Amino acid sequence: MSSKFSMSESEFIELADVTLASIERAIDATAADIEASRAGNVLTLELCNRSRVVVNSQTPMQQMWVAGKSGAFHYVRSGSQWIDTRDGSELFAALSRLISAQGGEAVVLRG
């Protein structure tokens, strides 16, 4: 799946930054024991069992990447959402499933 529309590099960087900040806010809004730390374009989520999920932006490809124990996932912008290039799932819904499965506690993130 390719991006449904093209962005300039600066537009992508701004959107990626907003997305990472939205994920941080969504994590903070849950009661889950998750520590979020950000360094530039990389957001690391340390779960209650000390495992990690990493979300980062990939400017050259204009994608958001997610890595966890179950694998790596790539998301492209389609309309107002980030959509998985393989299965078409939306970023926040997919992160909710990944974090819940990997961390062992139900988490629902709202973007």
**Structural domains of the chain ordered from first start:** 9-102 (3.30.920.10)
pLDDT in tens, 53-95: 999 999 999 999 999 999 999 999 999 999 999 999 999 999 9
| Helices 91-103 & 9-28 angle (0-180, nearest 10) | 40
Is pLDDT of 1 > 70?
no
What is the Cβ-side half-sphere exposure of residue 43, based on CA atoms within 13 angstroms? Answer: 24
Per-residue pLDDT, 36: 96
